[in-house]
Amino acid sequence: MRRLWWLTLGLWLTVGSASLWNLRRTFEQLSVYFTWTAIRYGLAFNRPAAAGLGLCLGMTVVLLVRESRHLIWGLSRRDRAQLSQALHQSNSRQ
């Protein structure tokens, strides 16, 4: 789970910041005329930035859903088996 947090943070720091930087002119226009159509056209005419933001938002949603699932239902059988295996491996090394 920690790797997913680091991956999401890394995506936001690299791809997310580059995407937001590429949309700076759209944000300037939105500060004057904020409409949903302006957002739609700003993303439609800047597809790499829209794809980058979509990737970052998608990974954030995945992370939040997985965290919520762990908080509500606990660990899955697969996760418990992986933790048990890692515990046995660490005990055998010592």
pLDDT of 17-29, one tens digit each? 999 999 999 999 8
Q: Residue 78, CB half-sphere, CA atoms under 13 Å: how many?
A: 1
Range of the domain at 50: 2-93
Question: What is the structure's pLDDT at 40?
Answer: 92
Query: Do residues 19 and 52 make contact, with C-beta atoms less than 8 angstroms apart?
Result: yes
CB distance 55 to 15 below 8 Å = yes
Q: Both ends of the chain: CA-CA distance in Å?
A: 25
Q: Collect all residues with Cβ–Cβ distance below 8 Å to 23 and sequence separation of at least 6.
A: 42, 43, 46, 49, 53
Q: Which residues of the chain have pLDDT under 50?
A: none
Domain count, the chain: 1
pTM, two decimals, is 0.74
Q: What pLDDT does residue 49 have?
A: 95
* pLDDT for 72: 87
